[in-house]
Structure 1
């Protein structure tokens, strides 16, 4: 690997960014401290040479609304084709002209394991490419959101979107699709150690490296049988953690994503109802593994994306045909 390779940003292009194929350098940090400050990572690990419209929406929403100073978009592929996706070109223009945050790099890690190693080495946020950001993330540090197996019913304090500690209780899992941990955090090391000991590259069982790992490791690491929305402080700040209530990023339980985010032909939701669904959220996890087959048509009455897209990722949503 050429250790002199620099990170790539759209602003480096000398030609029209909508008519080029780009060879991606490896994500390599020459100076171990040069990535300081708050930052956010996305990973595209399928090998695709670009992003879908909904994935572009996630990156654009983070660039516009997260208030994070540096956003990294890492690919497994060695190339991307900007001329195949209008929304990717628009993302390039948006980030270069307004926020100057989005950067693209070659990447060899796979997602579930790669996100652990990236944040252990550099620290920052990790977001799945099906999370749309609605509000600032800048004041979140060392956080995971709970992921209950079933929807939990609770009452929020009136108009304040707050929940008292230890109200959402009895939860086994945390969501590994949106979290922040500082550089060198010991929970990440514990998770990587677990994966190293349990993951079989032949059978490739998802539970050995996927979503279930973080909840299992966190419960053992912090000494809990079940988790609740609490904040834990230690003398060693590389153990500090806050477990956020699930609605911070998932107003809809993953089991209900199809029915609640896509209402079907008879859907008749109003903008006010979509607003109420998301009023306490900093982001919405759309669970693409359960919803990607549903087409977005611009019908606000039945499609949540058709309401949130124009507000939080307007460039991506303009390319509705490929959204």
Structure 2
């Protein structure tokens, strides 16, 4: 019997019901597709999901669980402003950094723009390292002087922390006896990205010559960094993981996180490390001052060198044993509780966040990277429920935060 003859045998009402259901089905599918397309346009992060990490205690990024105590703003000591009694009109001539000033337990910061001071957020970064990192902070400026009159936050930092030291860095001398020797002559010809290139190359040259923990000046340190050795951090395009209350070890399985690149804003290498050597060598061989390209140094180069040096098809959180020094790629959340694509919405949330919420976000991170090259103009609200700096500042950089108007 043909379909037509079958259809004739069906009552008219049944035929209409079947046709109407087909029509409703098509309309529903079309509506769902349209809504999906609109959601992807207006909410591009809606489809981002967390990685399927398996948590295992042997890969804990911090062996001391007591180091992960919650941050409680109610326990913040009240510190009275001291700037009025300090001599903040001084301009201090800085000693040139040399090998005798280097030490094993050091964190170093670089200010390569040539300015003679740190602004409020930069002072906060250094102060947080002084408070929490368990390392001695070395602040290296391209400027030969430190002008305390430019920033009250800097003045507070200078006078109140004995484990913070300021030095002048001569770039040519820093590059000398490294694979980047003489490279400064080409970098100085670059107008658009010269400062950025000096910073990216200089930090690797310093690590190669002296060793230590490098930190960008837009990082707030949350916890001790003394246990981080020969390590660099992955930067993933996906959101950093959200860890439930039951996952108390803050650890993930080795090789479980893929990333497109390495973030060179925070790392530790011992002096003479092969990775630092190869990065400097690669940059010196390929650097072209005629290219208006920021990526001639930094994450792109570090990622490329890591793949070539260690014969990697892709970047993952692994520890590689090597005669030139062990090399560990830490998962992104170690220093980036909010991935780059979500910094604005996570660190400056639209809805209020309270201490429990902030602690849940930061619980498995050693520091928070704010990426000021993009988000430096986003204001500090001074409301601890509306931005991360206002929550963390009074606890981790209290003297700098006294002058939050400079942030």
TM-score, normalised relative to structure 1: 0.87
- The aligned residue for residue 165 of structure 2 is 103
- 2:326 maps to 1:240: yes
Instruction: Kindly indicate whether the alpha-carbon contact (under 8 Å) linking 2:243 and 2:360 is maintained by their aligned counterparts in 1.
Output: no
- The aligned residue for residue 134 of structure 1 is 222
- The aligned residue for residue 21 of structure 1 is 91
Q: Can you give the 5+ residue segments of structure 1 that lack an aligned partner in the other structure? A: 1-14
Output one character per residue of 1:121-164: Cα deviation in whole Å (capped at 9) or x when no partner.
00111100001100001111001111112336576771111112
Instruction: Kindly indicate whether the alpha-carbon contact (under 8 Å) linking 2:117 and 2:147 is maintained by their aligned counterparts in 1.
Output: yes
Partners in 1 of 2:93 and 2:346 — Cα distance? 40
- The aligned residue for residue 288 of structure 1 is 372
User: Matched residue of 1:299: which SS?
Assistant: coil
- 2:296 maps to 1:208: yes
User: Quick one: structure 1 residues 184 and 91, their matched pair in 2 at CA, closer, same or farther if it must change by over 3 Å?
Assistant: same
Instruction: Kindly indicate whether the alpha-carbon contact (under 8 Å) linking 1:165 and 1:230 is maintained by their aligned counterparts in 2.
Output: yes
Quick one: which of 250, 269, 276 aligns to 2:360? 276
Partners in 2 of 1:17 and 1:280 — Cα distance? 40
Instruction: Kindly indicate whether the alpha-carbon contact (under 8 Å) linking 2:243 and 2:250 is maintained by their aligned counterparts in 1.
Output: no
How does 1:155-174 map onto structure 2 within 5 Å? 158-169=247-258, 171-174=259-262
Partners in 2 of 1:84 and 1:153 — Cα distance? 39
How far does residue 28 in structure 1 lie from its aligned partner after superposition?
2.2
How does 1:55-204 map onto structure 2 within 5 Å? 55-68=122-135, 70-95=136-161, 100-109=162-171, 110-151=198-239, 153=241, 158-169=247-258, 171-204=259-292
How far does residue 213 in structure 1 lie from its aligned partner after superposition?
1.1
Partners in 2 of 1:310 and 1:276 — Cα distance? 19
Partners in 1 of 2:240 and 2:90 — Cα distance? 48
How far does residue 80 in structure 1 lie from its aligned partner after superposition?
1.9
- The aligned residue for residue 70 of structure 2 is none
How does 1:243-322 map onto structure 2 within 5 Å? 243-263=329-349, 266-322=350-406
User: Quick one: structure 1 residues 76 and 245, their matched pair in 2 at CA, closer, same or farther if it must change by over 3 Å?
Assistant: same
Instruction: Kindly indicate whether the alpha-carbon contact (under 8 Å) linking 2:153 and 2:400 is maintained by their aligned counterparts in 1.
Output: yes
- The aligned residue for residue 8 of structure 1 is none
Partners in 2 of 1:301 and 1:173 — Cα distance? 32
User: Quick one: structure 1 residues 245 and 108, their matched pair in 2 at CA, closer, same or farther if it must change by over 3 Å?
Assistant: same
User: Matched residue of 2:316: which SS?
Assistant: coil
Q: Can you give the 5+ residue segments of structure 2 that lack an aligned partner in the other structure? A: 1-84, 172-197
Partners in 1 of 2:241 and 2:362 — Cα distance? 16
User: Quick one: structure 1 residues 299 and 111, their matched pair in 2 at CA, closer, same or farther if it must change by over 3 Å?
Assistant: same
Q: Which runs of 4+ in 1 moved over 4 A?
A: 152-157
Instruction: Kindly indicate whether the alpha-carbon contact (under 8 Å) linking 1:120 and 1:188 is maintained by their aligned counterparts in 2.
Output: yes
**Structure (1 or 2) with the larger CA radius of gyration:** 2
TM-score, normalised relative to structure 2: 0.70
Bigger fraction of residues in helix: 2
